[in-house]
Structure 1
Amino acid sequence: MLLNNQRKQIIFILLLSYCASIYSQRLSADGGVMLRAEITIGNQNQWLKLGAYGFGTLNYGDISVESGLSIATYQFLKRHTVKIPGLAYSYEFFALAGIGKNSNLLGSSVSNMNTSLLFNPNGKGGFNGLGFGFSKDYLPKSLKSYSLRRGAFLMRFSNANHNIHFSFQNDFSIGLFKGAGTDYGVTGSLDIGFTKIIDPQTIQKVGIGIDLFTPRPDYSQSPRNSINSDDGRKNVWYTLPPFKELFYGNLYGYATHQENNVSVHAKLGANSQKTGAYIQNILHDGLGLNPRFPWPVETKNKIYLEISGNVFYKAITND
């Protein structure tokens, strides 16, 4: 009897060890962290930023989850076209789930807050998946009321060294989409990008983007503003000071080149009030949202330009 019990215990231990071995062989993790300093100059934003960015993946067989977290503080001279100095803080979190071995860390490219990238040139596993995120900017002084949380819907498709991502950000709050539900400020953004690992030290990204910004609506007044009202057929908000006329509709292309511990990121496009109004009017009219905003649709288009330079330290690990 004692011998039989010992045999059963030995068999159980061997089976448990075998299962643990198989499990550990199928479970893998990759990740990286980055500390960076960034300077940005442009006709809408100018700042010096210090930040940290962490990104990681967890894979079990062909099932994968990935997540990123960023925090930063920055001293700015201009923000959202407003020339005012101040110290601001921001954070961003996102998570995606999908299929693939997911070892190249190209999911770091979906970050809206970082203009430099984490990547693993030795990781050949791709990824196809989707997820959600949220971010917030803490602004001071007269811009404090525009310290809003935005939600994000994300999609990503990657192979060994290429990646395509889609990011839609908005301030509405529905389910896993955790915006502030305010419908003003940087109310909506769209980013579609392509990323490629060139060699072990070099990565490049190109894409297109849209950013819409509107001032705070004045809920104390009836939405009978005549501007952007289609001759009075549509309800339009009045807006609150001190930024009653602060609108922009940025349509732009962007490119990033990163090599060793330095990266350069540039955006070039147009600030088109008419296009911004057209996009937001479709959403507000078609989806039955709040009244329109008084976009100055007769304003001529302006050039939108922004250039960022980064120096950073990064560390990559993989199991």
Structure 2
Amino acid sequence: MSSPLTTASPAKNTAPQLRTPRKKHTPGRPRRSKLLTVLTSLVVLYTVFPLIWLVINSTKTQKGLADSSGLWFAHDFALWDNIHDTFTYHDGQFLRWLLNTVLYVVLGAGGATLLAVLGGYALAKFDFPGKKGVFATVIGAVAVPGTALAVPTFLMFSKMGLTDTPWAVIIPSLVSPFGLYLMWVFATEAIPTELLEAARIDGAGEVRTFFTVALPLLAPGIVTVLLFTTVATWNNYFLPLIMLKDADWYPLTLGLGVWNSQAETIGGDVIYNLVITGSLLTILPLIAAFLFLQKYWQSGLAAGSVKE
């Protein structure tokens, strides 16, 4: 009698099963994220709150400033009247200060950016005796605050007879140690040495190599330095304060300070709504400059962050 046939059981799949890796849960991560969000929100509020206050109160008349809350609009909207009064007060004194500030920025900040670009490129791509000494000097100059040099600069300019002239503000603004250091570091990473050597082998001189090869690569860094020097020159207060006596050469910062002092004086003919509106008009060009050059500035800060 034959034994019954047994059917072979199918072979089991012994291949290892792939599992989706689970993300490790860090217990303190949600709490830290919430804390960072709260701190960031506080910093943003601290930064934006004065601007909001300035915008709201620039729409009020002198009576509206006294009768309404500082954090809300008054019944009468007087922004356009305040702007008109600001530009026409004292035979257009505010407009004269605005043009002076533009002059100081174009010559001072523009010249400082040009010198920083030329000096940073030379220090980054050329070797010469004393380069380490120049580096130490630049770092030391960055560490020295500008206010510490204001009095020696005033004494030097007074001996040369340049005080109470626009040159007393423009010439010191041409020196930007931080801009020079920034362009030095940026040019070192942004311009490959091989690219410069290839241009020289093709017969290009140093001037042509700089303008056709190096300068386009330095564009993000140039915009970054230009923004820093523009803000520093536009907001400069202490240097014009000790250098200038003639109100016709005042920048906006110093002129608005004079208006504010007159508004606080009993019997002064300057009213606070002109000071507030003038302050708002003063910061608008800086905001426009940052918004217009934002993409170049961000690319300049991010240059070199990706390593191949």
Q: Calculate the TM-score normalised by the size of structure 2.
A: 0.21
User: More strand by proportion, 1 or 2?
Assistant: 1
Ranked by relative contact order (alpha carbons within 8 Å, sequence separation 6 or more), the top structure is 2
**Which entry has the higher C-alpha Rg, 1 or 2?**
2
Q: Which has the higher helix share?
A: 2
